[in-house]
Amino acid sequence: MKKIQFFDTTLRDGEQTPGVNFNTKEKVQIAKQLEKWGIDTIEAGFPIASVGDFEAVKAIAENVETMTVAGLARCQKADIDRAYEALQHAKHPQIHVFLATSPVHMEYKLKMTPEEVIASIKEHVSYAKTKFEKVQFSPEDATRTEKNFLLKAVQTAIDAGATIINVPDTVGYSNPTEYGALFKFLIDNIQSEQEIIFSSHCHDDLGMATANALAAIENGARRVEGTVNGIGERAGNTALEEVALALYIRKDFYQSESSITLNETKRTSDLVSRLSGVAVPRNKAIIGANAYAHESGIHQDGVLKNPDTYEIITPSLVGVNENSLPLGKLSGRHAFAAKMETLGYQLNDEELKDAFKRFKSLADKKKQVTEDDLIALMVGQSQECNETYRLGCVQLQYVSDGSQGAIVSIDTGEETKTESAIGSGSIQAIYNSIDKILGQKPELKEYYIKAVTGGEDAQAEVHVTLADTENNRQFNGIGIDFDVLQASAKAYVKASEQFQKEVGKA
C-alpha cells in the first residue's frame, strides 16, 4: 500500500470562490478541524496578497501541531520573503512557488519568453531553498503546456532544490487519460538523486477533477491537492472527501491509503459549508443530504434486507450518524465544555462563558440540542465576534394595500441607524429597510432557507448571495435563528457587510 498525502487548499484556492471570505478566527478554526481530519499539508494562504492573508497564515502556523503549513508565492523574492516571515514559527513550514508555463500565459499574462521563464524558475526556486527545507514548485497551466518545455521547467525546479512538483490542471482542461499520461511522462523522464513527490491539482470545469486526481495517483502521484466540498475558482477544485473515500472503498484497485480520519469527514464538510456560506448540494457525493437516502421501492427493499445491496459507504464511516448525544437545558457548564471539546472547539474562559450563555438560551427553546445545533451556535458566535454591523430590532407591520412594512435598526459601529420600508412581502420589506440604512442597491442573487436539524423546533439557516453587477462580484451571508425573519435579516446584514467593504474599495 502506498501512502497518498493530502494537501488542502480550502483557505487559499477555496477562498477564491465568489462571495467567500473567511476571517482569521474562522481560518484557524477550519485549520484545526483539517488537522483533526488528517490533512498532511494545509495551504494557509497567499501571505503577500494582503495583511489579512499574512496574519491568517501566521496564526495558523502558530496554532497547528502536526500539519505542514504552506504559503503560496509567485516567482518573486518579495513573495518568498513574505511567506518566510509568516511561516517562520511553524513547526513544519513549506513554501509553494509557482510560475505559468503555457504559451497563452507566457505571452499574454507574463509577457515573458520561454527562456526568461526558465531563468526565473531557477533563480526563485533556488532562493526559496535558502529559506525553506520543503519547496514545492507548480508550473501553472501545466496541462496546456508543451510537454518537452514542461519537462524542462520541472527539471529546472528540481535542480534548483524543489522536492515537490505539483502539476496543476489550472483551467480544468484535461481528462483522466491525458492527465495520468502526463504524470507518467514526467516521472519517467526527470533526473534526480533525491526523492521527488509529484502532486495533482485539478479544477472541475469539465466535471473531471476527482477522476483526474485519481488518474494521477494511478500513474505515480503521491500527493493530491484539493478543497473541502470542492469549493474554489469557477466550478471548484478536486473535492478531497471524494478522493479519500475512493481510495478507501477501492483500495483493492488503487492499493493506496491516507491519513484521513474518515468519520471526521461530515463534520469537516459542515464546518466549511457554514463558514463559507456555500451550501452542499443534496446530491453531492459522500456528504450530500441524499447520499444515504433511498426513495425507490426496490432500493428500500434491498437496503432493509442488506445495506450492501445499494450502499457502498456506510453513513457512520464518514461521520453521518443516525443518533447524536444531545444536551438539554439541565446540562451544566462542564458537560457543555466537554461536548464542545469533542466537537473540536478549544474555547478560552470568555468564549466558553459566552457560548454557554447562548447554549442555555437555545436549550430553553428546544427540546433537544444536537451536535448540529451546537456547531450552528458556534458559527453564529464566530460571525458576531467579527461583525462591523450588528442587527438590532426587526419589527414588522401589515400595510393596508396588502404590502408589508418593516422597521430595522443596525449598529454600524459608529451609531445605531433605524429605517423603515415596505415590500411585497416581509422579507423584501426587511431587506429594503437594510438597504436604506446602508445606502446600497445590491442585486439579491440567491435566497434560501434550510433547517439546521429536523423537527418543528429546528433553527432556520438562511443563505443570501448579493451581487455587485457592475464589477461582477458576489458576496455570501448566512444567518441562523429560530425565527426565519430574524435569520433572514442576519444573513442579509452579513452579506451587506462584505458588499460595503468591497464595493467601497472599488
CB 259 within 8 A of CB 6: yes
For domain 390-505, give the fold: Double Stranded RNA Binding Domain (3.30.160)
**pLDDT at position 506:** 41
**pLDDT at position 347:** 86
Q: Which residues are annotated as a binding site for Mn(2+)?
A: 13, 201, 203, 237
CB 410 within 8 A of CB 391: yes
Burial of 231 (0-12, 13-18, 19+ CB in 10 A): buried
Q: Which residues are annotated as a binding site?
A: 13, 201, 203, 237
Grid cell of 32 as nine digits: 484545526
Element (H, E) at 488: helix 484-505
2-276 is a CATH 3.40.50.300 domain: no
- CA nearest neighbour of 269 among 207, 326, 319: 319
* Other C-beta atoms lying within 10 Å of the C-beta of residue 448: 11
In the chain, the N- to C-terminal Cα span, in Å, equals 52
- CA nearest neighbour of 125 among 92, 176, 166: 166
**Residue 187 dihedral angles phi and psi, to the nearest 5°:** -65, -40
DSSP 3-state helix, strand, coil percentages of the chain (rounded to 5)? 45, 20, 35
**Residue 264 dihedral angles phi and psi, to the nearest 5°:** -95, 5
**Residue 276 dihedral angles phi and psi, to the nearest 5°:** -85, -25
Phi-psi region of 277 (alpha: psi -120 to 50; beta: other; left: phi over 0): left
3-state SS track over 4-62: CEEEECCCCCHHHCCECCCCHHHHHHHHHHHHHHCCCEEEEECCCCCHHHHHHHHHHHH
**pLDDT at position 428:** 95
Instruction: Kindly list the strands in the beta sheet with 460-468, ordered across the sheet, starting from the edge strand earlier in the chain.
Output: 443-451, 460-468, 473-481
Nearest-angstrom CA–CA distance, 381 and 450: 19
Beta bridge partners of 7: 41, 225
* Other C-beta atoms lying within 10 Å of the C-beta of residue 443: 10
- DSSP at 87: H
Nearest-angstrom CA–CA distance, 25 and 261: 24
* pTM listed for this prediction: 0.79
How far is residue 28 CA from its own chain's centroid? 12
Domain ranges (residues) in the chain: 2-276, 292-320, 333-385, 390-505
Mean pLDDT per 10-residue segment, the chain (506 residues): 97 93 92 97 97 96 97 98 97 98 98 98 98 98 98 98 98 98 98 97 98 98 98 96 98 97 94 90 90 70 78 87 62 84 83 89 80 80 72 88 91 91 94 95 92 80 90 88 91 91 66
* Angle, in degrees to the nearest 10, between helices 24-37 and 265-276: 170
Grid cell of 441 as nine digits: 442597491
Phi-psi region of 272 (alpha: psi -120 to 50; beta: other; left: phi over 0): alpha
Identify the three-state secondary structure at position 411. Answer: strand
Phi-psi region of 234 (alpha: psi -120 to 50; beta: other; left: phi over 0): left
Nearest-angstrom CA–CA distance, 65 and 92: 8
Beta bridge partners of 96: 72, 136
